[in-house]
Amino acid sequence: MGRYLLRRLGQAGLVVVGVLVLTFLIVRVVPGDPAVSVVGPRASAEQLAQARERLGLDASLPVQLWTYVRQLVTGDLGTSLHTRQPVTHDLGAAFPASLELVGAAMLLAVVVGIPLGVVAARYRRTGTDVAIRVQSMLAVSLPVFWLALVLQNVFATKLGWFPVAGEYDSSLDTTSPLHVYTNITAVDALFTGNWPIFTSTLGHLVLPALVIAAYPIGVVAQLTRASLIEEISQDHVRMERALGFGERQVLLRFALRPALNPVLSLLALVFAYALVNAFLVESVFNWPGLGRYAAEAIRSLDTPAIAGVTLLVALLYVLVNLVVDLLQSVVDPRISLR
């Protein structure tokens, strides 16, 4: 177990270093000059030169990369050219909102997708199975931006069931101020008993979380169905049937647990896909997360912010993969972490 963790951490370190170098090179070769974002397009040549020197852009690429890595080791991601705040401060303010949104979507993917897959496998080749498979394919195929606009137009604008945009009703900041501890609004409101903001946050969370969860639900349902059908054809399942266990017991007690192993592997990839989709969904629903922060950084060619967001997403993806690998050994004892 210890050797496995060390090996995986070493692999994760290589991935992060690769992402860091690649991101650094990309933000340096894209068209545009970050110095212009600092001093403005009407600045003189002397002002631009001073800005480039202040930002370290007058040095060679290897020197710039070394300086960036040296600052990164100390926890310094630089200063945002757009907000004029440390990038670590901006990420700390924006990331919890994205984590809240993606976390809700992944929770939906698990609590909806896995039961749908189980039902489809239990009643395979029936109308129920066909209906679930068709709905899963539709969920996987629908473009995220189109689904976001449709749900927003139908359920928010026309029916008025849910709010159009935002994380919660901003007027509650006056009537029910929130004490912030984790920067995750729903969690802070729940722990402090701020029910007005908690219920408002849940209402604002429904539509964007459903949009992000659509693809994961479809993929998880299809893979759960396929994995479960394959598992119930194994010899140990035939033996359990021969011992007199009912089909429901065989399915849920003996076949489901090993069948979830590939589903757990998929969840790491689906999480990354959901996080990327969240960037677009946040723009549609005006959700104050990493997506909006990254969009503003790209528009203003804010290279420290772009590199910071990319590095954070890479670290999160590596961490999720490691956690999923550990969970697989818990779900399926046949897997040995060596």
Mean pLDDT, the chain, whole residue set? 79
Q: CA-to-CA distance for 116 and 90, rounded, in angstroms?
A: 39
The reported pTM is 0.77
Using 50, 70 and 90 to split pLDDT, how confident is the model at 71? Answer: confident
Structure confidence by residue, pLDDT tens digits, 80-125: 877 778 888 888 888 888 888 988 998 998 899 888 988 888 888 8
Q: Which residues contact 177 (CB under 8 A, 6 or more apart)?
A: none
Give the residue-averaged pLDDT of 66-74: 77
Structure confidence by residue, pLDDT tens digits, 210-250: 999 999 898 989 888 888 887 777 666 666 666 666 666 66
Structure confidence by residue, pLDDT tens digits, 297-308: 877 777 788 888
Structure confidence by residue, pLDDT tens digits, 35-62: 666 666 666 667 667 766 666 666 777 7
Structure confidence by residue, pLDDT tens digits, 277-292: 888 888 888 888 888 8
Q: Residue 30: pLDDT above 70?
A: no
pLDDT at 160: 84
Exposure string of 224-251, with b = 16+ CB inside 10 Å and e = fewer, is bbbbbbebbeeeebeebeeeeeeeeebb
Structure confidence by residue, pLDDT tens digits, 165-209: 888 888 888 888 888 888 888 888 888 888 999 999 999 999 999
More confident residue, 179 or 10: 179
Q: Residue 333: pLDDT above 60?
A: no
Q: Choose from 37-41, 70-74, 143-147 the range with maximum mean pLDDT.
A: 143-147
Q: Which amino acid is at 306?
A: I
More confident residue, 27 or 133: 133
Q: Residue 335: pLDDT above 60?
A: no
Give the residue-averaged pLDDT of 73-83: 77
Q: Residue 67: pLDDT above 80?
A: no
Domain covering 101-289, topology: MetI-like fold (1.10.3720)
Q: CA-to-CA distance for 240 and 247, rounded, in angstroms?
A: 9
Residue 34, SS3 per DSSP:
helix
Exposure string of 274-292, with b = 16+ CB inside 10 Å and e = fewer, is bbebbbbbbbbbebbbbbb
Torsion of CA 106, 204, 96, 170, to 10 degrees: 180
Using 50, 70 and 90 to split pLDDT, how confident is the model at 253? Answer: low
